[in-house]
Amino acid sequence: METNTVISIKNLHKAYKNGASVNQVLKGVDLEIQSGQIIGYIGPNGAGKSTTVKILCGILTDFEGDIKVLGMDLRTQDIEIKKRIGYIPENAALYDTLTPSEYLQFVGELHGMEEGNIRTKIARLLDLFEMKAHANERMNSFSKGMKQKILIISGLIHNPDIIFMDEPLSGLDANAVIIVKRVLQQLAKEGKTIFYSSHIMDVVEKISDRIILIDNGVVLADGSYADLNSESDNESLENLFTKLTGNSGHSETANEIINVFEN
Amino acid sequence: MVNFIIRIIRLFKGLFRLMGVDYKQLESILRVKLTMGNRRGFSTSSKKKDSSNQLLLQTFVYAVLGIFVGTLINSVGHTFTAYVYIFLVIMSMIALMMISEFSVVLIDTRDNAILLPRPINNRTLTVAKILHIAIYLLQLSLSLSIASFVFTIFNYGFAVALFFLFLIFLATLFTLFLTCLFYLGLMRLVNGEKLKDILVYFQIGMAIIFMGAYQLLPRLIEMNDLYNAQLAVEWWTYLIPPAWFAGSIASLTTSVFSTGDILFLALALFAPILGLWIIVKYLSPKFNYRLSQMEAISSKPEKKTIQKGKSVKFVDKLGELLTRNITEKTAFKMIWKMSGRDRKYKQTVFPAFGYVFVLIAVTVLGKHGEAKWENLIESKLYLLFLYLNVMAAFSACLNIIYSDEPKSSWFYKALPIARPGDIIAGSIKAILTKYFAPLHLIIGALIVYFWSYTILPDIFYSLISITVISVFVTASQSKALPFSQEKMSQDSGSNFIKGILIMISAGFLGAIHWGLTFIDYGVLFALPFMFGLQHLSFRYVKKIQWNQIED
Ligand SMILES: Nc1ncnc2c1ncn2[C@@H]1O[C@H](COP(=O)(O)OP(=O)(O)OP(=O)(O)O)[C@@H](O)[C@H]1O
Ligand SMILES: [Mg+2]
């Protein structure tokens, strides 16, 4: 399968303004992302991962820099882009007084899918995610993992070419994690691009074709796990993460914390 | 109801398409939004899909309210004046309702994650939002004006009545414009959590105003004066929106069209259309932009550092003074702070404080005239004022178990607390000290001012006796930990019971107190006895065991 650039980000800056205070979150991010890859986007809490993803999905529009997705300019052709991307948000944002069937139906309609098609897809997917029994219950009583499954389905239902996922595995049980991982790998094999952020380092290490680490609004490291590992000898991603984000002395901190608790 | 509305919207399909709206998406969004509105406020556990029909219920309630509005047509002799009142009432009611009831529906930050990443063009999103608000407003204004419509038919015939409905439609559009301006102004000043807080205070104010108006207006306005009321048309009358609509309809009933009438008509027609145009063109995109900025702010609350200053120390001291053990003291401090921050709590309880004063005002104003005022001072009416405050005490105590986020109360269970009664006792003490006692002392101060300082013992006696009854009632009514329950809007049955409880308790305590006033120093002697009872009441609360607590 031939690969080509599907996302290109040039000199991306983003600041949140809240009254007089300005929080510069992204300070010049440059990325080129090829199709058919799984990209693991990692970084400490508050690094700006979710912010990047929201910008790429067209949720946040006041950024600086140039972004092209699928060859189209994000500022001017956002609707065309949105037809071909899927987004799975980090906090379970759902209309939770609806039932999964109603909600997914709604999402399908927004993507202009044909009604019968939506219905059969929803039924199959809910069944595969073991949510069939809850198909007609309101989602406000759902557990975190149950909601997450619905979010995943709602992000994939229209068969997008690029999938943005913010912490997609949070709350899922072990079986669901394995299934979702396989699904992602299969989708990548078919030429789709998956851009996801996560804090679960061993998952990122295993399934990502490429890992991008950001901290303080800039890209700190970028490459396959093997690339990142070439300088040091066979370290886990967890250790690399620690080293690159300049955070060491975890055991001292842990001891310190215990000290505080015990006194 | 939802399907009915959608079917009406569908009639304008072509128009929407012309505007560049993706009609299918528009319909999907509206259907989902209306469905959610329809299910709002009902128990979360309900598993059935369509067990609720909020919209229909509301329509009915407003239609009944509208009857009072409609009677203005016959009780005000001057046509123009009558309709000014009607449009004024309807327009301000829908604007206030909009802000107090539907803010949650409109300012829905989930939209950012759900709708923005989907291929929906701006036009469609804007129109969907405006239609959504407009539908609510129209539902309100039309149900409020059904009665006025009927009265208009009887008085001026069918044609005028139809024109009236058309004007109501325009007035609604104009109100929509005004409320949009209000929201934008507010969002400019504050955002996120702060906005929601302000809206809660708005709701509290509204509740008090409604109650006050309902109680006071009929007493203040003499029917005769009302019938003879006549608003003269001055130059500034043209600046009052309700006058535009009233002027238009008045001129139609007389079929005389002066220059002034034509000006009214023109304003009534074009101002709403201009307003709508401004909304679509300028306000709505701004609104959407502000909303998209809001999301993360509300999920990541503003950095609000709470200064550990004098007030905290004061609460610590009070807690020390009023509680007996560490659990109780901790609960006292926690609840003192939380009760001022929990929106659901403020929203249900604060209006009750206002009502107490409204009712006092009603009693005083109900007896206007010099001679009656003299009588008032000689009477023992102060007892009534003191015991009206049972309402505030009960409302503060009985609502303490409810919260916006009941799930966050899990930690009580996780802590090694032997007797949950201590928590309940601490929280009742906090609530009574923070809200009821100051209120009672304010009322007391007023009474001392109007009567004399000899009433002081009565004020303290009533303070303690209301405390005792509140403690007993709270402990027996709802055995649950503070902020641990979800309030369901369906419990109007239990609200009724609460109302009865308040009346009976207030009457009972008041009667005893009244009896005591006939004995020399009776109240003074009864004070120590009441202190004893108060002690017992808290003992009773503290005995509550884990197995008696509801979750
Ligand atoms: N709407 C907002 N308004 C103001 N500041 C924001 C907003 N959203 C995020 N921020 C700030 O931007 C920074 C980056 O946030 P972001 O959510 O992108 O981090 P993240 O990398 O996804 O973190 P996490 O690992 O915790 O999910 C943080 O400092 C956060 O406080
Ligand atoms: Mg994040």
pLDDT digits (tens, 9 = 90+) for A192-226: 999 999 888 888 888 889 999 998 888 988 888 77
User: How confident is the model over B289-308, as a mean pLDDT?
Assistant: 54
B307 occurs within a structural domain: no
B367 pLDDT above the threshold of 70: no
Highest mean pLDDT among B141-145, B238-242, B307-311, B397-401: B141-145
Three-state SS sequence of chain A: CCCCEEEEEEEEEEEEEECCEEEEEEEEEEEEEECCCEEEEECCCCCCHHHHHHHHCCCCCCCEEEEEECCEECCCCHHHHHHCEEEECCCCCCCCCCCHHHHHHHHHHHCCCCHHHHHHHHHHHHHHCCCHHHCCCCHHHCCHHHHHHHHHHHHHCCCCCEEEEECCCCCCCHHHHHHHHHHHHHHHHCCCEEEEECCCHHHHHHHCCEEEEEECCEEEEEECHHHHHCCCCCCCHHHHHHHHCCCCCHHHHHHHHHHHHHC
B279, B356: one domain: no
pLDDT band, residue B300 (cuts 50/70/90): very low
Q: Other C-beta atoms within 10 Å of B130: how many?
A: 19
pLDDT digits (tens, 9 = 90+) for A70-98: 999 998 888 999 999 999 988 878 888 88
B495 pLDDT above the threshold of 80: no
B351, B383: one domain: yes
Please state the φ and ψ torsions of residue A6, each to the nearest 5 degrees: -105, -25
pLDDT confidence of residue B507: 86
pLDDT confidence of residue B373: 60
B38 pLDDT above the threshold of 90: no
pLDDT confidence of residue A234: 64
pLDDT confidence of residue B43: 39
User: How confident is the model over B163-186, as a mean pLDDT?
Assistant: 88
Nearest Cα neighbor of B469 from B443, B436, B439 is B436
B8 occurs within a structural domain: no
B210, B334: one domain: no
Task: Kindly report the pTM of this predicted structure.
Answer: 0.73
pLDDT band, residue B302 (cuts 50/70/90): very low
B380 occurs within a structural domain: yes
Ligand 2 (ion): which residues have CB within 5 A? A 49-50, 90
pLDDT confidence of residue B296: 47
Contact list, A138 vs chain B (CB under 8 Å): 39, 44, 46-47, 49
B423 occurs within a structural domain: yes
More confident residue, B184 or A157: A157
pLDDT confidence of residue A109: 92
User: How confident is the model over A44-54, as a mean pLDDT?
Assistant: 90
**Domain boundary pick from B263, B295, B327:** B295
Domain count, chain B: 2
pLDDT confidence of residue B375: 66
B299 pLDDT above the threshold of 70: no
Token pair of B334, please? 């926690």
Q: Other C-beta atoms within 10 Å of B442: how many?
A: 14
Pocket test for ligand 1, best of A13, A22, A24, A25 (most atoms within 8 A of CB): A25
pLDDT digits (tens, 9 = 90+) for B254-297: 777 788 888 888 888 899 999 888 888 888 777 777 777 665 44
B289, B363: one domain: no
Pocket test for ligand 1, best of A12, A18, A23 (most atoms within 8 A of CB): A23
pLDDT confidence of residue A158: 92
B426, B291: one domain: no
B432 pLDDT above the threshold of 90: yes
pLDDT confidence of residue B48: 41
pLDDT band, residue B56 (cuts 50/70/90): confident
CB within 8 A of B335, min separation 6: which ones?
A: B400, B426, B427, B430, B431, B482
Cβ contact, residue pair B36, A97, below 8 Å: yes
B369, B287: one domain: no
Collect all residues from A whose CB is shorter than 8 A from any CB in B: 16, 18, 50, 57-61, 79-80, 82-83, 85, 87, 89, 91, 93-95, 97-99, 102-103, 106-107, 109-112, 136-138, 140-141
Question: Which residues does a 6 A CB cutoff place in the pocket of ligand 1?
Answer: A 16, 18, 23, 25, 43, 45-51, 90; B 295-297, 300
pLDDT confidence of residue A81: 92
More confident residue, B226 or A68: A68
B289, B332: one domain: no
B195 pLDDT above the threshold of 50: yes
B416 occurs within a structural domain: yes
B213, B65: one domain: yes
Residue B304: DSSP 8-state: -
B248 pLDDT above the threshold of 50: yes
B455, B334: one domain: yes
Cβ contact, residue pair A58, B39, below 8 Å: no
Closest atom, ligand 1, to C-alpha of B296: 1
B59, B169: one domain: yes
Q: Which domain holds residue B190?
A: 24-40+51-230+274-295
Angle, CA B248 vertex, CA B246 and CA B253 arms, to 5°: 90
B254 occurs within a structural domain: no
Q: What is the ipTM of this complex?
A: 0.83
**Domain boundary pick from B295, B329, B352:** B295
B56, B123: one domain: yes
B235 occurs within a structural domain: no
Contact list, B31 vs chain A (CB under 8 Å): 106
pLDDT confidence of residue B193: 66
Cβ contact, residue pair A98, B296, below 8 Å: no
B465, B394: one domain: yes
pLDDT band, residue B20 (cuts 50/70/90): confident
Average model confidence (pLDDT) for chain B? 80
Domains along the sequence of chain A with CATH? 1-84+200-263 (3.40.50.300)
B44 pLDDT above the threshold of 70: no
Highest mean pLDDT among A228-237, B92-101, B444-453: B444-453
B95 occurs within a structural domain: yes
Beta strand residue intervals within B33-121, DSSP E:
none
Tell me the C-alpha distance between B80 and B218, whole Å: 21
Residues 36-95 of B with CB under 8 A from A: 36, 39-40, 44-47, 49
pLDDT confidence of residue A49: 92
Contact B367, B450 (CB under 8 A): no
